[in-house]
Structure 1
Amino acid sequence: MGMIHLPNMRFYTYNGVFDEEKKLGQQIAVDVTVHYPIETAVKDDDLTTTISYVDVYETVKTIVTTKQFNLMESVANTVLSALLTQFPQVTQIDVAVHKDYIPLPGIYDPFVITVSGTPADIMQRGQA
């Protein structure tokens, strides 16, 4: 079993609960790991028989930059659901959303929301 890992994709968004976040915007980072049988999918060295990391990136970019969310949890879940629907040949997808700036006093590292799922999760929710 192999995986494609797209770490630290950065996007400027206007997501968040606080008015400042929606007005001024902020940068977030998204990590995606796609687990699937790469060794069998690339036997013929043909992009059409595998998963393109460019397609994964474009899906994440479209969701994160064109939709507005109050919660980073919603960003993560929407990305996860979209990728699971788009790539049913995966065994699992992991998504992490890093929020570097939170309008709270204090010193802290980025806050991270992480979700994982399988194509069966989408089918159970009736989204297939």
Structure 2
Amino acid sequence: MGRIRINNMKFHTYNGVFAEEKKLGQKLEIDVDMQYPIEERVQHDDLKETVSYADVYDTIKEFVTTHSFDLIESLANQLLKKILADYPSLQQVTLRIRKYSVPIDGIFDNVEIEVAGVNND
């Protein structure tokens, strides 16, 4: 099974539980890993035979910059549903969302949420 990945997409969003997060926003990084039978379906060097990663990027960008959630878990779940619905030829999608401005008293790089889902053909 082939994979199409877009890594380290960066967006300024307004997700979070606290008022400061909703007002000031913060950077999120998103990775998407899409399973698609490239070996079978891409035979003629034709974009119509695959999933356009440019379109997937635009879908993700539009969604995360126009929706706000208290929890990045909710953002991840809803974005996953959107990608699976918009791109039914994808067999499986895994999303990883990293949040850097987390109000925790500690030393760490980020918090990451990972969700995965399948399309039932």
TM-score interval for Structure 1 and Structure 2 normalised by the shorter chain: over 0.9
Distance apart, 1:41 and its partner CA:
2.1
Deviations 1:15-46 (A, max 9, x none): 11011100111000010000010112210111
- 1:52 counterpart residue number: 52
CA distance in 2, matches of 1:104, 1:19: 15
Q: Does 1:85 align with 2:85?
A: yes
- What 5-or-longer segments of structure 2 have no aligned partner? none
- What 5-or-longer segments of structure 1 have no aligned partner? 124-128
- Report matched runs for 1:60-99 at 5 Å: 60-99=60-99
For normalisation by structure 1, the TM-score amounts to: 0.90
CA distance in 1, matches of 2:55, 2:69: 22
- Secondary structure, counterpart of 1:102 in structure 2: coil
- 2:39 counterpart residue number: 39
Alignment: residue pair count: 121
For normalisation by structure 2, the TM-score amounts to: 0.95
Distance apart, 1:74 and its partner CA:
1.0
- 1:101 counterpart residue number: 101
Q: CA RMSD in A?
A: 1.2
